Structure formats: structure tokens, C-alpha cells
Amino acid sequence: MNYRDMVIEASGAERIQTEKTWQVRFKVRVVESPAGAMTPEQAIARAYEGRGMLGSIARLERRELDRDDLIAFGRTLATLLLPDQPGSVDVYDLFIRSLDLAGPDAGLRLRLRLPPLLAALPWEYLYVERTGVPDSIDGFLALDPRIAIVRDEVQPTPTTLAPLEGDIKVVAAFASPDDLPTLNLEQEASDLTQALAGQPGITLDLLMNATRDELLRHIAGASVFHFGGHGEYRREPGDAPGTYTGTGALVLHDQRMDAEQLAVNLGAGGVRLAVLGGCHTGRRDDISVWSGIAPALVRSRAQIPAVVANQFSISDQSAIAFSRHFYRALVGGRSIEEAVAVGRIAIYNENKYGRDWGAPVLYLRQGDGRLFAGASDPATRDQARADAEVIARLRVREVAQGGYACGAEIGTMRSGKAMVTAVIDTVRGTVIGARIGKMGGGQVKVEENVDVVGPGGTLVGAQIGNLGNAPQTPPGDQPAARATNIQQTTGAVGPGGTVIGSVEGGVHHHSKKVEGDHITVGDISGSSGARAEVRTVNTGGGDYAEGNIDKRQGIFGGEFHGPAIGALSAGKVTIGDQMNISNVSGSILNIRSSLSSASQTISASPRGDAATKVELQALIAQLSAVLQQAPPEKAADAEAVAETAKAAIDLATKAQPNRTLVQINADGLKRAAQNLAAVLPAVLPIAERIAELVMRMIR
């Protein structure tokens, strides 16, 4: 992903003491952006109350902020750095316009130029509502892969380095001397080893109880320096009363190494990236721009291109998740901005109610964050790049009517994991968690959390064209494909909404309320049982489908595990083999009634020209007559063809048909007919022509 710069500058920061408290006042403006800039005279005055801000940061560090508190804190940060001032040029407006101008396949790099008083604030938790739905997790800018938050020290921009070719060498130094609190560095080293284990394209040189001389011997030829241990931060009185300056250093086993000395040695060794996992290495004091190790490394004469440092401590689980996905992205040749985004989202997926995802801080010296070209082996590089792409595209925002969003689209998957998390407030268009053409190996995990599937909305967990060994994969070369793991949680499915668990694999679906005119909940494959828990269902006389749906037949087959439905009121109902329904009002679908209803739907439809509708009705009549000749052992297959034809027609004749869902049903009709072709040859050409006309109706 290519990122375009938006440079935000805060200036004139001063601390104003009052009788009971103190304030920090400053001005903020946009120096550069795709949408334009602001003059110094257009800078907007901002201020915050000091004690309250420091109290919130302390609570954040102690993990005392819940999700609502974190959102509120993020909003406060946004009012300071991205103020919205109607009637004049403002930072917020330029931010929104710049993001639009960047386009869907590019990103926006927020370069923050901050004075020391403001550099200590955790801007990585900026929260801006962009979906129109309050309190959506998508408001956190750092969790959007299209937005990179970068600490930008004011300096002449150096020449951008070409990406470094070849495998990535990581030198990891861990140290905890006796005169400081004991750290569990064995666990931290184990975490990093676990994160990088089995990852081709990257080598790990691990130094325990690292001394200065040992570090200097090993750093030559390294691409990345990774540190675990204590970061020391010494404060001294500044020139002005009540102010302080600070000096940062890494504490090795035998001595302290200050930022300047560290930078010189890292630069001499050819290091392009420093990852500082030590506690507080990303923190700053209120005065000196040289106080922290991370910014000092970036601004040093050695010109370290990028530094990633934690501004708060993070859990072992978060550290493993970040390192694994962060380094994997670099092996794939992804930019440092993308790699940090991937790492953040990996942390979020481990604990979506925590705050660890905002702990990493990125300092970037050069204009382009492409530091590494990726692994030497093309296959390794391409696979790592694809893995990072899947993980990076996790955020799905509100989807409007007629819109389409897909968490991951993969042509052929032979190994690895595709993890997609979609947090959606309202779906009125089409959302597919993962769409895979051929899956010959690996695992797909999709988690969809939806508040409302509205009118015309369609929510699909995963759509997989072929599950099993892909033709390009020699038998035994790759692990077998594992069934998809789809979890869907919806608050309500409104009238006209459709929910489909997965085209292949297992699914667990939980809904508080379902109402609409054509609803499908469950597993469309017949390969494994589906569990659905639905409290209230009201289709308004429409169709309701629940449970384990056979993809081949288009009807429910196999086992249906544990449906729990409080009340069901529907005109037409199809259910699985086992059920526990307290109140059912409706009738079981059959061939004649299904196709008769389909013919009436065609007649009343405002869509399609007269000739198409006449031909389609004639084909439906032919199909009904042929299907009723099916032998008893093929009755289920015949009923499947009828129901699939009806479903395709129902969807195609809607005022605003969902093309994706119509296509799925049209293809399903042809596959269902193929199962009857041996005993009823006339079925297949009729079904194929119906499928063709159905797709014509939605053009």
C-alpha cells in the first residue's frame, strides 16, 4: 500500500499555571496534505487541562479504561489534534478529504510534528467517527490499515533509501542487570522465538544477558535490532523553573548505553529498524526533544530510518501476536507502516477489549516506509505478503445500500491462515468475510460482529469455490484444507435482510432478533453441523431457513444441532433434521407450491422485459412437470432444484436485488440440476436457461 503524507504541526505550546491547576495551550495546523494546507495564521488554538490529561494517561497505563472510556479518551485527543471548526479551513475537514483523495487502495500517513509538551500524549488512540454510527470500534484511526500514525521529528528529509534486498537478520538483545527490578526476560525471549519460529525469510540471533561488547560483535550485518529489557529515563531540572529535561538509555547487562552511542553503533552495523520492547522506551518528558531513545535514534547522525517503541507495557500474548505478524509483513516486503498496522490488529484480535494495540509508537525518518524488499525466495516473499494482506484488511465499516465489502479475497490458498474480523454497525449492501476461489490447504477464520443487517443487506461468512486439494497442489505437499470457522453475531436482521453462515465449513450463529422476508441462518455445505441460537423470528410471511444447508442440493441436510427459537412466525419454513421450536406457523415447502409461487412472483415483478418474463414462466412450468417425475430416491434432489429456482427468482425480482446473492443461487440451481441429470436429463438445460434469465433480469 502506498501512503500519502498529511503533516500536522502543533506549535507555540506553553504550560499555563492557574491557582488550582494548569493548562497546556497550543496551536495546530496542517502543513501539507493531499487536500491542501493551512497557513500559520489559520492555525487553530487548542488547550487541555493538565492534571485531568495526566490522570487519564495514568489510568490508561494501568489498564483501567474500558472500551467506552477508551473511546471517550480518543475523542478528546481528536478534538485537540484534528479540530473541526465550521466556517473555516480546519484540520478535520482536510483529514477527511485527504483520506478520500488517497483512494481505496492507498493510505494516509499522519506525520505528527509535536513539541515536547505534546509528544508525551498517546496520540495512537485518536478516535474519529467516520461511519455515522457512534461508538464503533472503527473510529480508532490506528486500527485502520489505511491510516498510519507516525511521530515525525522536524528535520531535513534525507534521501529515501532503496528497500534492502534479501532475508532479514534480527539481532535480539535481552538484559536485566541486578541493580534494577527483575524482568522475566526468558519469557520475553521465548515469546519472540515463538513468534518467529518457522518463519522462512528471517533469522534470529538471540543474545541473553547481553553486554555492550557482545552486542557490538553481533550487530554487524543485522537488518533489525530488537531490544528487551529496561529503558532508563533520567530527569534533570531544566533552565526554566518547574521544567525538566531527560536522557534515555538502554540498560545492558554490564552498563548503560545512551541513545547517541546506541545510534552510532546501530548505524555502523547497517541497521534499518530498531524495535524497542523495553519498558517506557517510547515515553517522553515535557521539554527536551532528545529525551527519549526512540526519537533520538531517528534524529541522530547515524540516521536510523525507523524505530518502533512501546509507550506502555504490553502483555506476553500481545507481544507474541505483534512480533509474529509484524515481522511476517516485513518478510513479505510490506512497508513499516503496513507492518505496524498488521501488528496492531493482531494484538486487537487477541484482546479486543484491551489497550495494548495502541502501545507501539512508530518513528519514521525517511519519506517512504519501504525498508525491506522481502525474503530472497520469491515463493516465501509472496506467501508472506499474501498473509499480511489478509490480516491487514480486517476492518469493515458500515456498508451502504448497493455497496460491497470483502474482508479478504484470495484466488488460491494452499497453506497458512486467513484471519478476518469484521466489525460492522449496519449492513444494507453485501458483506463477505472471506472469498476464496480454491482452498487446497490452510485455515480460514472469520468473525463477524454486526449490529443490524438492514433492508437489502446480505452478510456472508465465507464463500469458497472449491474446498479440498487444488489441482495445482501435488498431493501430500501441503496440509489439507481445514473447514472454515465462521462466527457471526448479529443484533437484528431487518426486513429484506439475509444472513448466510458459510458456503463451506462450520458456523456458529447467534442472533437476538431476526425479521425479514428471506432469511438463511447456518452452514451451507452439509459437511458439518451448524448451531444457531435465535430468540425471535418474524419473517412477515416470508421464507425462513435455519441450520445445516447442503450446498449441492440447496436445501437443508445432515444434522442440525440445537436450534433454540423462542417464537417463529413464517409463511414458509424449512428446518433441519432435529429441532426444538416452541411455536411454528407455516407450511413445508414442496415442488409444486414452490414453483407455482415462483411463477406468480415473475408475473408481478416490475423487473425484466415482457419476453424474458414469458419465457421464464414457461420454463418454470416445464421444470415443475419434469421434477414431479423424479423417482422416490431422488425426491430430495428434485425438491432442492425447485427451492433453489424459487430462491433465485425471489431475489432477482426484488426492487433492489443483491447481485452477489442472486449469482450464488443461480449457480446453486445449476449444480442442483446436475445431481438429477442422470435420471432426468431434461432438468439440466431448463435449469441452466432459468439461471441465465435470472441474471439477465438484474442487469
pLDDT digits (tens, 9 = 90+) for 56-71: 999 998 999 998 999 9
Domain with CATH 3.40.50.1460 in the chain: 164-379
Supply the mean pLDDT for the chain: 78
Region 198-217: mean pLDDT is 91
**Residue with the larger pLDDT of the pair 361 and 316:** 361
CA distance 690 to 623: 9
| Torsion sign over Cα 50, 51, 56, 57 | positive
CATH of domain 164-379: 3.40.50.1460
Q: What pLDDT is attached to residue 541? A: 54
Give the residue with greater pLDDT, 313 vs 362.
362
Q: Determine contact, residues 106/4, Cβ cutoff 8 Å.
A: yes
Say yes or no to pLDDT of 495 above 70: no
Q: How many residues does the chain have?
A: 699
Instruction: Determine the pLDDT at residue 251.
Output: 86
Q: Which of 215-219, 369-373, 422-426, 439-443 has the lowest mean pLDDT?
A: 439-443
Q: How many CB atoms lie within 10 A of CB 587?
A: 11
pLDDT band of residue 642 (cuts 50, 70, 90) is: confident
Amino acid at 24: V
- Rounded distance, CA 627 to CA 633, Å? 13
Quote the CA–CA distance of 502 and 508 in Å, as a whole number: 10
Distance of CA 408 to the CA centre of its chain: 9
CB contact burial 592-617 (16+ within 10 A = b; e otherwise): eebbbbbbebbeebebbeeeebebbb
- In the predicted structure, residue 557 carries a pLDDT above the cut 50: no
C-alpha–C-alpha distance, residues 669 and 662, integer Å: 10
- Is 263's pLDDT higher than 80? yes
More confident residue, 211 or 523: 211
Determine the pLDDT at residue 189.
Answer: 87
With pLDDT > 70 as the criterion, what percentage of the chain qualifies? Answer: 71
pLDDT tens profile 273-326: 999 876 556 655 554 444 577 888 887 766 789 999 988 888 888 888 899 899
**More confident of the two residues 455 and 120:** 120
Model pTM score? 0.64
**Which pLDDT band holds residue 332 (cuts at 50, 70, 90)?**
very high
Per-residue pLDDT band at 74 (split at 50, 70, 90): very high
DSSP letter for each residue of 4-62: EEEEEEEEEEEEEE-SS-EEEEEEEEEEE-TT----GGGPEEEEEEHHHHHHHHHHHHT
pLDDT of 698: 85
Q: What is the pLDDT of residues 581-596, one digit of tens each?
A: 333 333 334 687 778 8
Task: Name the 3-class secondary structure at 74.
Answer: helix
Report the C-alpha gap between 694 and 673 in whole angstroms. Answer: 16
Report CA dihedral (555, 537, 513, 536) to the nearest 10 degrees. Answer: -130
Is the sign of the CA dihedral 540, 541, 542, 544 positive or negative?
positive
Q: Of 8-22, 138-152, 396-410, give the lowest mean pLDDT range.
A: 396-410
Compare 483 and 23 and report the one with higher pLDDT.
23
**143 vs 660, more confident:** 143
Maximum distance among all Cα pairs of the chain, rounded to whole angstroms: 97
The lowest-confidence range among 127-141, 231-245, 642-656, 677-691 is 231-245
The answer to which of 132-141, 372-381, 473-482, 641-650 has the lowest mean pLDDT is: 473-482
Neighbours of 105 (CB within 10 A): 8
Question: What pLDDT is recorded for position 565?
Answer: 46
Name the grid cell of 302.
Answer: 547515524
pLDDT of residue 238: 57
pLDDT 10s digits, 658-682: 777 788 778 878 888 988 888 999 9
Question: What pLDDT is recorded for position 667?
Answer: 82
